[in-house]
Structure 1
Amino acid sequence: MELHKISNGHHDYVPVEDGFEPEQEEFLPHKDDGLNKSQFKDFEGKTSFGMSVFNLSNAIMGSGILGLSYAMSNTGIIVFVILLTCIAVLSSYSVHLLLKSAGVVGIRAYEQLGKRAFGQPGKILAAVVITMHNIGAMSSYLFIVKYELPLVIQTFLGKHSNTGEWFLNGNYLIIVVTICIIFPLALMKQLGYLGYTSGFSLTCMVFFLGSVIYKKFNIPCPFEEFGNSSINATLEADCEGKFITINQQTAYTVPILAFAFVCHPEVLPIYTELRNPTKRRMQSVANTSILGMFVMYLLTAIFGYLTFYGNVESELLHTYSKVDPMDTLILCVRLAVLVAVTLTVPVVLFPIRRALLQLLFPEKPFHWARHITIAVCLLIVVNILVISVPNIRDIFGIIGATSAPSLIFILPGLFYIRIVPTEDEPMNSRPKIQAACFTAVGFIFMIMSLTFIALDWINGENRSGGGH
């Protein structure tokens, strides 16, 4: 999710060298004992509790929020609430495992925890998973541009339907936006100032939530067809929320929810910036942020679903245009979301490039050729992915079924098992057993989700998504 997973300065970490003495409760000692032994002294924590909550909330908030109503329509209200609650609780426990592991070895970077746990292969694995997830996030943002920008232009031109001009073709528009806006920003050496877009992103999503709630009481059901709308006139019986629904699209629910709660690569950088940083204080920051996003996600899903019921699409904003493409309020929401996601893409690209440089050229100084080449290659890959994939649900599904379980469940559990000394917690101790079970749950979620998604593709069922 941030829109996606950004906060001002969160990725500007410096790898920690081996040899630091293990810390206990405090990750960043905030009092000088006179011996000048403060770890990461140059990053002395100065961020307040409230601002840390705001930053982590931005890290959690993502484009996944646009798919939650669709997820509810394919599970029913009761099943969705249970799954959302479980994912939120498990995300909080996952943060606990990360903080405990980081507290043992004094490391504040996800990749460095991987290196401490499994050596260089662990660092590579963590970097690859984070890269996959961020590429998925970039793709989801450009997918929003692909399907929302043509509708915005269409509305400004007073057209009720797409008449086929190139500037109403989403595939052309994402290329134009990438070249004219995203690429120049991605070339900058420092993107710190773009961290301010995280505040705009969160404000945008609050505006989005308010609009969803408002429109619930202003869009009548049964629906009436509007022009060439693909939302068909419905019967009164179709305007009742279902408490339990199971179908083949239900397989996408857990990945969509997991995608919406990933913030774990940003937890440790936020931890280091926290004033008076203790594990308990940072856990409170995480719990508060996750609870806030849980409430926001739940309200968005419920009111979006109870507006469109079975007609809700995998990208909620796109659904509103099927009722009234000229709606001024939804046009404002679209514009806000489009600006936010466009400015977020280069920020999400930045840590991917940094991870690739560390893996491929760890000893090389900064060079413009490498800097530009990696940005160009990443943007080309993401554009091809967005043009080729017909549905944003597929991006949420695949990334949510692979990188999200890895970042939330599998890697934190494995790090905890490997890093926490057996002298402190033997393998048969309750915390280690819980961590092992937590990791196993991640593998089960990943395998089940990928299996059901593959079966859905093989069966070639009709999809009601943003691309149709």
Structure 2
Amino acid sequence: MEMEKFSNGHGAAVPMDEEVPQEDQLFLEHKNGPTKTPQFTDFEGKTSVGMSVFNLSNAIMGSGILGLSYAMSNTGIVLFLVLLTCIACLSSYSIHLLLRSAGFVGIRAYEHLGMRAFGHPGKILAAVIITLHNIGAMSSYLFIVKSELPLVIQTLIGQTTGADVWFMNGNYLILIVTVSMILPLALMKHLGYLGYTSGFSLSCMVFFLSAVIYKRFHIGCPLEVFGNYSVVTEPSDDMCATKFFTVNQETAYAIPILAFAFVCHPEVLPIYTELKNPTKRRMQNVGNISILGMFVMYFLTATFGYLTFYENTEAELLHTYNKVDPLDTLILCVRFAVLIAVTLTVPVVLFPIRRALQQLLFPGKPFHWVRHIVIALCLLFVVNLLVILVPNIRDIFGIIGATTAPSLIFILPGLFYIRIIPTEQEPMNSRPKIQAACFTALGFVFMTMSLTFIALDWTSGEKRSLGGH
């Protein structure tokens, strides 16, 4: 390797171990082991495997779950299952590459892996990609709050149309939610404490899934619409037919929706850091369990949502239920549950951004509460300003999602593995290195394809929906 030493965060050069740690070797040496210089993120991991699964599952789960039924309507059940399985397996393999690279050099931050692999430019690139992607994710969550919370309030007070009052204004509501709920959680020192809120957030999404399954057996097809919502005038024979395999203009565009739904990689190493008795095998189990749980939830949500509305499925599943009855009590509760889930996810997504900024702007600095709080306040201010001032950021999300998501899932983990694992141990023609190279190439293909569809969307002016994490 070109770099035989790497910085430990305090500027001191630490020799790289000659041997690769075993699968079960502790990620960090304990007190009885060799003395090491502590890093600014260094502390004894106290988070259990269960809490770590909650945190990582909450990081995986995002607003993209609302678009999965739409993706299935454009792929069919069988093709959707194949694509979902492939992306879930690739995401698990990506976590394996990250843990393998991190365990070899004893680095616990995504940005430090970039530093170890490509020097300071690699560290900057990783930090910028994480920051842009997670800001986009946080903005998508707050956009759900901005659009759905006024509808919840409107239903609770019994109004059929929106009133021009401050508590029905989404811009005011996201500020209130940010200050009262998101900010206190974002100011916590350790990510592990958010396992409790992550568990509650996942419970809300389980309730959302239960409601989708329940409504499948209580909504007929063709739809009996309510009020002034769009009406199906002439039901066709195929309108309520189940499609197992279909290809149309939107099929390939459904692939980014599925991929974005599994982006969790910036959170993997922070969660690894706080895992009790951290080993690669334990963290890989955390990743596999989280991905498997989200795989089941995603497939069930997509299937029962699709089997409810078939061709009438909209890009956001909750909006489709408005066709039936916007005042439905169960759907009102579902909206409320989704709002709670996305609100509690924002602090989990904020932690990797703050870590990336601290690694980039304040390398080697010990933890300081003022810096911790100021970074959180600045990030929340930027995200709220973006949500308030930009009326439609679908194209912005598209660009960020088409570039940062494949970078985090495919490109960077593969490149880190190729650069960090020495050729003396694994030559470039070895099977693991070839697999990592193909994995990286797949990321570039995915990025090119996604950007192509966005360009076609801009040039043709057609309405296409891009799912976010």
Give the TM bin, normalised by the shorter chain. Answer: 0.7 to 0.9
Q: Is the 8 A contact 2:54 2:198 kept in 1?
A: no
1:196-254 deviation line (CA, Å, top 9, x unaligned): 32111111111111111111111111112211113545615211222334344334322
3-state DSSP of counterpart to 1:229: coil
Q: For residue 64 of structure 1, what is the aligned residue in structure 2?
A: 64
Q: Is the 8 A contact 1:175 1:383 kept in 2?
A: no
Q: For residue 335 of structure 1, what is the aligned residue in structure 2?
A: 336
1:355-388 deviation line (CA, Å, top 9, x unaligned): 2243234467758589547734653355435653
The alpha-carbon distance between structure 1 residues 221 and 29, as it changes in their structure 2 partners (threshold 3 A), is closer
CA distance in 2, matches of 1:31, 1:125: 29
3-state DSSP of counterpart to 1:299: helix
Is 1:379 equivalent to 2:377 in the alignment?
no
* Greater Cα shift, 67-76 or 343-352: 343-352
Q: For residue 151 of structure 2, what is the aligned residue in structure 1?
A: 151
Q: For residue 262 of structure 1, what is the aligned residue in structure 2?
A: 263
Within the candidate set 15, 25, 28, 2:26 is matched to 28
CA distance in 2, matches of 1:434, 1:369: 41
The alpha-carbon distance between structure 1 residues 292 and 233, as it changes in their structure 2 partners (threshold 3 A), is farther
Which residue identity is paired with 1:120?
H
1:139-161 deviation line (CA, Å, top 9, x unaligned): 11112112211210111121233
Which residue identity is paired with 2:409?
I
The alpha-carbon distance between structure 1 residues 133 and 225, as it changes in their structure 2 partners (threshold 3 A), is same
The alpha-carbon distance between structure 1 residues 33 and 127, as it changes in their structure 2 partners (threshold 3 A), is closer
TM-score, length of structure 1 as denominator length: 0.85
Is 1:101 equivalent to 2:96 in the alignment?
no
Q: Is the 8 A contact 2:216 2:307 kept in 1?
A: yes
The alpha-carbon distance between structure 1 residues 157 and 301, as it changes in their structure 2 partners (threshold 3 A), is same
Aligned residues with identical type, % of pairs: 70
CA distance in 1, matches of 2:101, 2:287: 16
When the two chains are superposed, the root-mean-square deviation of aligned CA atoms in Å is 3.2
Is 1:229 equivalent to 2:229 in the alignment?
yes
1:27 CA displacement: 4.9
The alpha-carbon distance between structure 1 residues 396 and 384, as it changes in their structure 2 partners (threshold 3 A), is closer
Tell me how many residue pairs correspond in the alignment.
451
Which residue identity is paired with 1:358?
Q
Q: Is the 8 A contact 1:174 1:383 kept in 2?
A: no
Unaligned runs of 5+ in 2: 1-7
Q: Is the 8 A contact 2:117 2:419 kept in 1?
A: yes
1:169 CA displacement: 4.2
CA distance in 2, matches of 1:343, 1:32: 33
Q: Is the 8 A contact 1:117 1:418 kept in 2?
A: yes
Which residue identity is paired with 2:203?
T
The alpha-carbon distance between structure 1 residues 255 and 233, as it changes in their structure 2 partners (threshold 3 A), is same
Q: For residue 352 of structure 1, what is the aligned residue in structure 2?
A: 353
Q: Is the 8 A contact 1:68 1:301 kept in 2?
A: yes
Q: For residue 435 of structure 2, what is the aligned residue in structure 1?
A: 434
1:148-201 deviation line (CA, Å, top 9, x unaligned): 112101111212333555544434533454456545765x46475555321111
1:266 CA displacement: 2.2
1:288 CA displacement: 2.3
Which residue identity is paired with 2:155?
T
TM-score, length of structure 2 as denominator length: 0.85
Q: For residue 242 of structure 2, what is the aligned residue in structure 1?
A: 241
Q: Is the 8 A contact 2:267 2:349 kept in 1?
A: no
3-state DSSP of counterpart to 1:261: coil
CA distance in 1, matches of 2:140, 2:220: 30
3-state DSSP of counterpart to 1:250: coil
Q: Spell out the pairing of 1:164-203 with structure 2 (5 A cutoff).
A: 165=165, 167-178=167-178, 181-182=181-182, 188=187, 190=189, 193-203=193-203
1:345 CA displacement: 2.5
1:448 CA displacement: 0.6
